């Protein structure tokens, strides 16, 4: 999630330099891939049934179900909708978008100003939680200029210090601001119990996980290890968190992490999946795969985690969905088609999976949202 939206580790890792908001890792520079042989597609058929595309054009990511599973919020920068950077939209799944009319956009539920990221529909289904820079910058907040030669070819995410977390009604009118501390506050998601919000903040001097009550009160720091902790989600019972983390260990890596963070940047090319209790206790590193492992989400059983990873890739930019047991065993590859699959989320009843992919994009660089019935 950043925005990481966008979340998100995008395929523009190919570019000589790439500055992308954290949640928004959309496949901004992904190229059209050759069709996958039927024999490989069949592997996806093990878990996917009735796979369908639900957005058409631009970069669409971080699609998350409402508590009843009947609608989603997602972020998009579709230029045909008059957008220059990510805004948040609402989609009733019973009223799908028309693939033959990409100019007709769904309801806008952010302000339409600044950059936005990481939305989540509130428990009452009448309000939306999201992060935005609109209070400090009505335009698309500019990315920082990097002049240090050693960072010019690195893939970087931006952590805008002007992000704060808001609640708006379904017309995009902000009804409450939940955070108001200097620096980055974003990547907020809500517990299935409807009582807590987890988010990422650098208010303590590092990018750590924090929790707060659903009304914004009782804000508490959860993690404390040096490195970027973000993209967190609650377990189905609301007792644990799963998140992505970069934990620099060598003096060189530590120095680089701190230097980039001071510029409002992180390099998300070395991340692993972690879990902990909601209070930060019982911290566990789940993956030890190397490269970038991110966008994790708990399986409905609470015993497995689905996530995106490029650990298998020899080139660095092939992201597929994987699933792993919470104890780190039983790694299983879920997707094989296209070179970007990320942001998986199970519906509240566990019967459906939604994710973003650059498959079937007609030779463009588009990333779209897909949904499939889930088969265990």
Which CATH number fits the domain that encloses residue 223?
2.120.10.30
Note if the bond before 201 is cis, omega within 30 degrees.
no
Structure-derived torsion over alpha carbons of residues 3, 245, 319, 359, reported in degrees to the nearest 10: -30
Domain extent, residue 156, equals 71-328
What does DSSP assign to residue 292? Answer: B
State the Cα–Cα distance between residues 241 and 4, nearest whole angstrom: 18
Q: Which helix (H) or strand (E) holds 253?
A: helix 251-262
Q: Which helix (H) or strand (E) holds 40?
A: helix 38-44
Residue 53 falls inside a structural domain: no
Contact predicate 7/22, CB 8 Å: yes
Residue 313: band (very low, low, confident or very high) from pLDDT cuts 50, 70, 90: very high
Residue 30 falls inside a structural domain: no
Residue 60 falls inside a structural domain: no
More confident residue, 32 or 192: 192
Nearest alpha carbon to residue 102 among 80, 85, 87, 86: 80
Residue 351 falls inside a structural domain: no
The DSSP bridge partners found for residue 116 are: 132
State the Cα–Cα distance between residues 153 and 137, nearest whole angstrom: 28
Nearest alpha carbon to residue 313 among 287, 288, 286, 293: 293
Give me the half-sphere count of Cα atoms (radius 13 Å) on the Cβ side of residue 177. 11
Residue 338 falls inside a structural domain: no
Whether 17 has a pLDDT exceeding 50, the answer reads no
Model pLDDT, residue 45: 76
Residue 11: band (very low, low, confident or very high) from pLDDT cuts 50, 70, 90: very low
State the Cα–Cα distance between residues 100 and 275, nearest whole angstrom: 42
Q: How many domains are contained in the chain?
A: 1
Tens digit of pLDDT for each residue in 254-284? 999 999 999 999 999 999 999 999 999 999 9
Tens digit of pLDDT for each residue in 276-311? 999 999 999 999 999 999 999 999 999 999 999 999
Look up tokens 């030890």; give the residue.
Answer: 288
Residue 46 falls inside a structural domain: no
Residue 94 falls inside a structural domain: yes
State the Cα–Cα distance between residues 80 and 104, nearest whole angstrom: 8
Kindly report the average pLDDT of the chain as a whole number.
Answer: 89
Model pLDDT, residue 43: 62
Residue 42: band (very low, low, confident or very high) from pLDDT cuts 50, 70, 90: very low
The DSSP bridge partners found for residue 88 are: 75
Count CB atoms within 10 A of the CB of residue 277: 14
For 213, the 3-state DSSP assignment is strand
More confident residue, 156 or 36: 156
- Whole-structure pTM value: 0.90
Whether 127 has a pLDDT exceeding 60, the answer reads yes
Residue 146: band (very low, low, confident or very high) from pLDDT cuts 50, 70, 90: confident
What does DSSP assign to residue 2? Answer: B
Count CB atoms within 10 A of the CB of residue 68: 11
Model pLDDT, residue 316: 66
| Region of poorest pLDDT, from 21-25, 195-199, 220-224, 319-323 | 21-25
Residue 272 falls inside a structural domain: yes
State the Cα–Cα distance between residues 83 and 217, nearest whole angstrom: 33
Contact predicate 344/38, CB 8 Å: no
Whether 117 has a pLDDT exceeding 90, the answer reads yes
Residue 6: band (very low, low, confident or very high) from pLDDT cuts 50, 70, 90: very low
Cβ neighbors of 267 (< 8 A, separation 6 or more) are: 151, 154, 155, 156, 157, 246, 256, 257, 260
State the Cα–Cα distance between residues 55 and 76, nearest whole angstrom: 9
Tens digit of pLDDT for each residue in 215-257? 999 999 999 999 999 999 999 999 999 999 999 999 999 999 9
Model pLDDT, residue 317: 81
Tokens found for residue 375: 């088969």
């Amino acid at each position: 999630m950043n925005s990481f939206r966008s979340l998100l580790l995008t395929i523009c890792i190919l570019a000589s330099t790439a500055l992308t908001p954290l949640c928004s890792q959309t496949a901004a520079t992904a190229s059209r891939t050759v069709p996958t042989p039927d024999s490989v597609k069949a592997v996806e058929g093990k878990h996917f049934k009735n796979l369908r595309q639900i957005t058409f054009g631009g970069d669409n990511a971080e699609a998350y179900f409402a508590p009843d599973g009947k609608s989603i919020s997602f972020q998009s920068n579709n230029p045909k909708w008059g957008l220059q950077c990510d805004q948040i939209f609402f989609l009733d799944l019973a009223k799908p978008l028309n693939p033959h009319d990409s100019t007709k956009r769904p309801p806008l539920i952010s302000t339409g100003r600044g950059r936005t990221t990481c939305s989540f529909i509130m428990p009452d289904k009448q309000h939306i939680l999201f992060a935005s820079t609109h209070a400090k910058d009505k335009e698309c907040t500019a990315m920082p200029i990097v002049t240090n030669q050693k960072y010019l070819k690195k893939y970087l995410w931006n952590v805008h210090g002007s992000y704060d977390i808001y609640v708006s009604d379904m017309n995009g009118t902000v009804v409450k601001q939940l955070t108001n501390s200097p620096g980055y506050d974003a990547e907020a998601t809500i517990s299935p119990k409807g009582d807590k919000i987890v988010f990422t903040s650098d208010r303590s001097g590092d990018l750590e996980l924090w929790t707060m009550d659903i009304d914004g009160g009782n804000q508490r720091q959860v993690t404390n290890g040096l490195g970027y902790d973000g993209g967190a989600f609650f377990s189905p019972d609301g007792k644990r968190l799963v998140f992505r983390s970069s934990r620099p260990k060598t003096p060189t890596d530590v120095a680089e992490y701190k230097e980039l963070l001071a510029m409002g940047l992180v390099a998300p090319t070395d991340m692993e999946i972690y879990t902990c209790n909601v209070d930060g206790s019982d911290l566990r590193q789940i993956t030890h795969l190397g490269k970038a492992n991110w966008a994790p989400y708990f399986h409905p059983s609470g015993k497995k985690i689905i996530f995106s990873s490029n650990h298998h890739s020899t080139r660095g930019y092939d992201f597929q969905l994987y699933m792993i047991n919470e104890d780190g065993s039983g790694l299983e590859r879920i997707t094989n088609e296209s070179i970007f699959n990320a942001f998986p989320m199970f519906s509240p009843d566990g019967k459906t999976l939604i994710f973003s992919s650059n498959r079937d994009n007609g030779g463009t660089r588009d990333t779209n949202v897909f949904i499939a019935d889930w088969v265990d």
